[in-house]
């Protein structure tokens, strides 16, 4: 008899799943393998997926994933299925924020078509004026950013309230920004491994090795994920523009007059000789990210 479960962690060739209903002996979690037919069907299993488990050994707490349910969403990196909120975490110190890197993370998050939020960690390590300046800057980008500190407790109450709403939230961002430290502050019993930032390179050290889901409140899950420093951009340049909230807002007010526009610059004035300018091509418009989101 098959049981319904949710994948809460992937480790090597095994999956940890949380059962929808406890089994015999009040078993709630199983360590599972994946049936080879899933690969033949092209069904990749990600953390957050709903799956059916068969061949269950309740004593050894093991089983085999036989099928995957429909997905409502997919965050490609880190790979998390059925997420409802993406929280991009960037530190204000050690390492300092990089606007271009942050933009790449936001683009990756926006591709999931889910709610995207920004979290500034280590806010206790910089002057208040600097914190406020970054928060205002992100407001101009279309995000209501929250500044927090796992050490001083700044903003942790509001963060806990946000993450405690029903759904699956994913904390993602570069290495060393303090994602695991924030979860430890919210859920002290977790005791997730953390490490200091490299003093010479000012880069984070990878302490989280895999994506794992944790229960923060009833019906509210949060995913800790490994850090990485350079998210990929969409392969289709024309899909890039609408991943910027400020461009979506501008286009809603005044649609771009170029059908295949790449939103890379402001149209040039018509030339005297031909009466046309470079603005008639796909290379220029007034909703350019470079103009709306300067480095």
User: Cis link prior to 95 (omega < 30° from 0)?
Assistant: yes
Q: Which residue has the higher pLDDT, 293 or 84?
A: 84
pLDDT-derived band at 208 (thresholds 50, 70, 90) equals: low
- Given a contact cutoff of 8 angstroms between Cβ atoms, the answer to whether 246 and 141 are in contact is yes
Cβ atoms within 10 Å of 234's Cβ, excluding its own: 13
**Helix, coil or strand: residue 265:** coil
- Given a contact cutoff of 8 angstroms between Cβ atoms, the answer to whether 235 and 36 are in contact is no
Residue tagged 């015999």 (tokens): 24
The average pLDDT across 26-55 equals 92
Indicate the average pLDDT of the chain: 82
- Given a contact cutoff of 8 angstroms between Cβ atoms, the answer to whether 17 and 50 are in contact is no
Percent of the chain with pLDDT over 90: 49
The average pLDDT across 276-283 equals 42
56's tokens = 């269950």
The average pLDDT across 152-167 equals 93
The average pLDDT across 156-169 equals 94
Query: Residue 12's pLDDT is what?
Result: 79
Query: Residue 267's pLDDT is what?
Result: 54
The average pLDDT across 278-289 equals 47
Which run of H or E residues covers position 132? helix 128-141
Largest CA distance in the chain: 84
Give the least confident one: 16-20, 73-77, 276-280.
Answer: 276-280
Query: Residue 289's pLDDT is what?
Result: 53
Q: What is the pLDDT of residues 228-276, one digit of tens each?
A: 777 777 777 777 778 888 888 877 787 777 777 666 665 544 444 444 4
- pTM here is 0.79
Strand partners, 5: 19, 51
The average pLDDT across 116-124 equals 95
Give which of 38, 37, 60, 59 is closest to 49, Cα–Cα: 38
Q: Is it the case that residue 128 has pLDDT exceeding 70? A: yes
Query: Residue 22's pLDDT is what?
Result: 93
Q: Which residue has the higher pLDDT, 288 or 94?
A: 94
On the CB side of 266, CA atoms within 13 Å amount to 4
């Amino acid at each position: 008899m098959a049981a319904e479960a949710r994948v809460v962690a992937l480790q090597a060739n095994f999956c940890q799943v949380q059962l929808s209903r406890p089994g015999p002996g009040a078993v709630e979690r199983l360590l599972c393998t994946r049936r080879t037919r899933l690969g033949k069907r092209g069904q990749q299993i990600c953390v957050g997926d709903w799956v059916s488990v068969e061949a269950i050994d309740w004593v050894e707490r093991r089983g085999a994933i036989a099928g995957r349910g429909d997905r409502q969403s997919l965050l490609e990196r880190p790979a998390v299925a059925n997420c409802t909120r993406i929280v991009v975490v960037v530190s204000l110190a050690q390492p300092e924020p990089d606007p271009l890197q942050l933009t790449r993370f936001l683009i990756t998050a926006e591709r999931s078509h889910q709610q995207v939020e920004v979290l500034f960690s280590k806010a206790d390590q910089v002057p208040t004026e600097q914190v406020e300046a970054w928060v205002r800057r992100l407001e101009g980008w279309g995000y209501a950013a929250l500044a927090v500190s796992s050490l001083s407790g700044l903003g942790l109450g509001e963060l806990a309230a946000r993450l405690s709403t029903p759904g699956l939230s994913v904390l993602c961002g570069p290495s060393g920004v303090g994602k695991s430290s924030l979860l430890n502050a919210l859920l002290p019993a977790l005791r997730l491994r953390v490490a200091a930032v490299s003093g010479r390179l000012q880069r984070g050290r990878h302490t989280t090795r895999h994506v794992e889901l944790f229960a923060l409140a009833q019906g509210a899950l949060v995913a800790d994920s490994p850090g990485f420093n350079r998210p990929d951009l969409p392969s289709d340049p024309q899909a890039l523009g609408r991943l910027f909230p400020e461009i979506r807002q501008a286009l809603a007010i005044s649609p771009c007059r170029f059908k295949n526009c790449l939103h890379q610059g402001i149209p040039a004035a018509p030339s005297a000789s031909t009466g046309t300018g470079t603005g008639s091509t796909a290379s220029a418009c007034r909703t350019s990210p470079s103009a709306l989101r300067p480095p």
